[in-house]
Chains A and B, each alone.
Chain A
């Protein structure tokens, strides 16, 4: 089960690992060879975000009315950004005009809204931690390139 075997690690520039993790949680770890670690954090964080949306509805990702919460949610990557764009699209669709259309979505309130927002925001904030970890690990692999990973430095 140990996926941290040194010989499986691949050299990836740390900005690429960080960007990949932002695009899809866990992808950075996957690229540097820590696939099991990447799969676990990816499934967990995307799952957290989706559970947040299921609990509170799309209303919990609101760029205009909850900008501070959105700052955390955007860390989950295109999933958060796309949800915010779709929310804005639904807001435009649901604008009252004669004849008034039915609301495109239902606004969540109270504890349900709090929990949904918390789920989505924590998924994003935790992904920031994953991004930093992936960048750090990629940098570590890059620095130890001159010596065999996990072994003694090579004599030239």
Chain B
């Protein structure tokens, strides 16, 4: 058995997509998945909102940054409330 086949077998036998959740050693790292989620939300919104799709990517990136900034701000406020109030 070649090493590639062995590696594929190990990978596929270790994790079955859709039937098993994503196996992350540190579940807190899963928060990184918020980034593509925010991008997808912004992309859908801007696709419907813009009259012309010429500036879709730029507008989507801008909205994604706004949303992430607001999430960070909300996280900061909640941290202050929880820790200090």
Residues of A in contact with B (beta carbons under 8 Å apart): 1-4, 36-37, 40-41, 44-45, 47-48, 51, 53-59, 90, 104-106, 108, 110-113, 115-116, 118-119, 122, 126, 129-130, 133
Chain B interface main SS type: helix
Return chain B residues, CB-CB under 8 Å to A130: 44, 48
Instruction: Report if A47-B40 is in contact (Cβ < 8 Å); known contacts: A55-B33, A110-B27, A112-B30.
Output: yes
A-contacting residues, B31-66, CB 8 Å = 31, 33-34, 36-37, 40-41, 43-45, 47-48, 51-54, 56
Q: Are B40 and A116 touching (Cβ within 8 A)?
A: no
With both beta carbons as reference points, the residue of chain A lying nearest to B34 in the complex is identified as: A115
Report the minimum CB–CB distance from A84 to chain B (whole Å): 13
Q: Are A1 and B54 touching (Cβ within 8 A)?
A: yes
Q: How far is the CA of A51 from the CA of B37 in the complex (A)?
A: 9
* Contact of B1 with A by CB under 8 A: no
Report the minimum CB–CB distance from A128 to chain B (whole Å): 11
Report the minimum CB–CB distance from A8 to chain B (whole Å): 13
Q: How far is the CA of A115 from the CA of B40 in the complex (A)?
A: 14
Instruction: Report if A56-B53 is in contact (Cβ < 8 Å); known contacts: A40-B47, A111-B27, A122-B37.
Output: no
Return chain B residues, CB-CB under 8 Å to A129: 44-45, 48
Instruction: Report if A44-B19 is in contact (Cβ < 8 Å); known contacts: A2-B53, A55-B30, A112-B24.
Output: no
Return chain B residues, CB-CB under 8 Å to A122: 37, 40-41
Instruction: Report if A118-B44 is in contact (Cβ < 8 Å); known contacts: A57-B21, A111-B27.
Output: no
Return chain B residues, CB-CB under 8 Å to A115: 30-31, 33-34, 37
With both beta carbons as reference points, the residue of chain B lying nearest to A48 in the complex is identified as: B40
Return chain A residues, CB-CB under 8 Å to B47: 37, 40-41, 44
Q: Are A126 and B37 touching (Cβ within 8 A)?
A: no
With both beta carbons as reference points, the residue of chain B lying nearest to A54 in the complex is identified as: B17
Report the minimum CB–CB distance from A48 to chain B (whole Å): 5
